[in-house]
Structure formats: C-alpha cells, structure tokens
C-alpha cells in the first residue's frame, strides 16, 4: 500500500478539535516540526497531547501551545518553555507529569495492546498516592489533583499500576522511510518517535528521505509500516529545519 500523502496539510486535514495526539521527539530533537506547523495552520483546538515535553517558546509544540490550541499535556517535564509554565500555573492548561521511563512504557504498552502494567517508579510519592496538581485554579489553589493509583506487592516489593496510552493520532519524524511506512530513525530521534507511532491509531510520519519499497534493509528498519498510516516526504529545506534548545559554542 502506498501511504504517501501529497503534503503535510493533507495528512493532518482530518484531525478534529479535541483529538488526542502522541507526538515524537526529545526536546527539539526529532520533532515532527513540519506536521506541527501544518496542524497549527489547520486550526484544530482543544488538543490532548502526549509527548515527552511540549517544545519551547515559538518552536515545536510551543506553536500550538502559544496559540491556545492545547487543552491537556501528558509529559515528563516542562522544559525550556515559559509559556507552558505560565499556562499551567495560571490554570489554563491541564498537565499530567509522568516519570520519563514510565511515559515511554505507557506508550509502548498501549501500542502493543497491553492495558496496564506494574512498575516500581513512583512508589512512595504523589505519582502513586495521588495529589499531583493536574490543573490549578486562578488563585493558585489546586483545582484538579491526580487520583491515587492501585498498588500491589510482588516478592515483598511495592509496585504501582500504570495504564497504557493510546491516542487518536500520532505525529512523528524519521530520517528515512519508504512508501509502505517502514521507518529508520537517527540517534536520539529514536527515543520517543517509534513509541508515539505505536500508540497512535493513525500515525503520520514526516520523513527526511523517502525511498522506494525494498530500498531499506529489513535489518535496519526501526519501526515497521504496520504502525504507520500516512507518510509525508519533506523537502530539503524542511528536512534541514532542526532547531537547538540551547546552543553552546566556544568563546
């Protein structure tokens, strides 16, 4: 099946208001920046985003955040995003902070059809016992707190039950891909992109280099095409569009 969409705009055209999205990338590494911009132009709002972080001010998911298009974020950290912090502390944004390894496994579990799993991460903290502020009120009080989670002992050690994550859509970026949706990722971009794609019912991948079927060695494929519904081939300019959170140079 040829899964190539003619443009990023076409690929995200059917994402509705209120959709849930798993978005790949780590910081600004490997983020689907072209698809995010296309979704920003498309205008969908009330989005529920699952991503390791939420971009930075003016880049990545920060574009959707500053436009008021995101209603809820499930992620690992606020990152270099002052607008994220402002909206969260001001009661404009619901935020579920999740230990990074737990978030990765929740995405993987959802993609594999595993509804829940036990992990020791978070035992003895508000992650397990509840009380983490998901949403603040305008006066700074907690309007919505996380509920307690089921806990169980195995071999004398306590574990907390975490739910797998599935989403309506997934937006990801790959270094190489073929027309069937088989993908290869580059270094750190492999961290969350494959997991996000697995969790999304409709995964949309932007690829820096599109190749024909059979050109990828099966041994180098990181994510098989069965998890990918649509592929967008980037132009050379789009493929080269890679921001850096903090640039460090020698004096």
Average pLDDT, the chain: 95
Residue bearing the bigger pLDDT, 56 or 143:
143
- Average pLDDT in the 56-61 region? 90
Phi, psi of 194 (to 5 degrees): -60, -40
Look at residue 100 and tell me whether its pLDDT is greater than 80: yes
List the beta bridge partners of residue 118: 161
Largest CA distance in the chain: 59
Output the pTM of the full model.
Answer: 0.94
Domain boundaries defined on the chain: 8-115+164-239
Length in residues, the chain: 251
Among 155, 160, 130, CA closest to 142: 130
Please give the backbone phi and psi of residue 64, each rounded to the nearest 5 degrees, phi first. Answer: -70, -35
Rounded Cα gap, residues 3 and 1, in angstroms? 6
Is the distance from CB of 62 to CB of 78 less than 8 angstroms?
A: no
Q: Is the pLDDT at 245 greater than 90, yes or no?
A: no
Q: CATH 3.30.1490.20: does it fit domain 8-115+164-239?
A: no
Place of tokens 């969790």: 199
Task: Quote the CA–CA distance of 19 and 48 in Å, as a whole number.
Answer: 6
DSSP letter (8 states) at residue 247: -
Q: How confident is the model at residue 249 (pLDDT cuts 50, 70, 90)?
A: confident
Q: Which of 74, 72, 108 is nearest to 92 (CA)?
A: 72
Mean predicted confidence (pLDDT) in 105-109: 98
Separation of alpha carbons 169 and 26, rounded Å: 18
At 95 the pLDDT is: 97
Strand order in the sheet with 116-119: 116-119, 157-163, 151-154
Render pLDDT for 1-40 as a digit per residue (tens, 0 to 9): 899 999 999 999 999 999 999 999 998 899 999 999 999 9
Neighbours of 42 (CB within 10 A): 15
Task: Dump pLDDT digits (tens) for 134-181.
Answer: 999 988 999 999 999 999 999 999 999 999 999 999 999 999 999 999
Q: What is the pLDDT of residues 182-211, one digit of tens each?
A: 999 999 899 999 999 999 999 999 999 999
Query: Taking residues 215-222, what's their average pLDDT?
Result: 96
pLDDT in tens, 108-133: 999 999 999 999 999 999 999 999 99
């Amino acid at each position: 099946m040829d899964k190539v969409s003619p443009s990023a705009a076409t690929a995200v055209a059917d994402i509705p208001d209120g959709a849930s999205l798993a978005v790949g990338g780590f910081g600004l590494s490997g983020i689907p920046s072209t698809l995010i911009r296309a979704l920003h132009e498309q205008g969908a709002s009330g989005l529920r985003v699952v991503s390791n972080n939420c971009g930075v001010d003016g880049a990545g998911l920060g574009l959707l955040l500053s436009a008021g298009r995101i209603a809820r974020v499930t992620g690992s950290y606020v990152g270099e995003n002052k607008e994220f912090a402002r909206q969260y502390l001001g009661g404009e944004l619901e935020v579920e902070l999740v230990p990074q390894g737990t978030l990765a496994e929740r995405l993987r579990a959802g993609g594999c059809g595993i509804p829940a799993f036990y992990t020791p991460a978070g035992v003895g903290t508000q992650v397990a016992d509840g009380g983490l502020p998901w949403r603040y009120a305008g006066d700074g009080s907690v309007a919505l707190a996380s509920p307690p989670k089921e806990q169980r002992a195995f071999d004398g050690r306590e574990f907390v039950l975490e739910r797998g994550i599935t989403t309506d859509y997934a937006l990801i970026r790959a270094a190489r891909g073929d027309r069937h949706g088989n993908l290869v990722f580059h270094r750190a971009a492999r961290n969350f992109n494959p997991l996000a794609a697995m969790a999304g019912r409709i995964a949309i991948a932007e690829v820096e280099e599109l190749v024909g079927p059979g050109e990828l060695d099966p041994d180098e494929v990181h994510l098989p095409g069965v998890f990918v519904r649509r592929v967008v081939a980037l132009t050379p300019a789009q493929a080269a569009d890679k921001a850096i959170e903090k640039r460090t140079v020698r004096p």
